[in-house]
Amino acid sequence: MIAAIAGAHTGTHVLDVDPDHDHHRVVISMAAKSSTLLDGVIAAVGAAVEHIDMREHAGVHPRVGAADVVPFVPLGQSTLADARELAREAGERIWSELKVPVYFYGENRPLADIRAGRAQPDLGGPTLHPTAGAVSVGARLALVAFNVLLPETDIATARALARSLRESEAGMRGVQALAFQLSGGRVQLSMNLFRLDQTPPSAVVAELVRRGITIGEQELVGLCPAIAAGEVAAGRLLEGRLAAAAARAGAVKCRSVGDEEHLALAVRLEREAEGLAALGVDQQVLLTGAERAAALVPVLRVAQVMDGELEAMLGAAARGLRAAISPGTEAANAARVAALDARL
Burial 122-151 (b: 16+ CB within 10 A, else e): bbbbeebbebbbbbbbbbbebbbbbbbbbe
Q: How do residues 156-185 score in pLDDT, each as one tens digit?
A: 999 999 999 999 999 999 999 999 999 899
Q: How do residues 181-200 score in pLDDT, each as one tens digit?
A: 998 999 999 999 999 999 99
- Using the predicted structure, report yes or no on whether residue 263 has a pLDDT greater than 80: yes
Is residue 61 part of the annotated active site? The answer reads yes
Counted residue by residue, the chain has a size of: 344
Q: How do residues 115-156 score in pLDDT, each as one tens digit?
A: 888 999 999 989 999 999 999 999 999 999 999 999 999 999
Q: Which of 13, 21, 23, 61 is catalytic?
A: 61
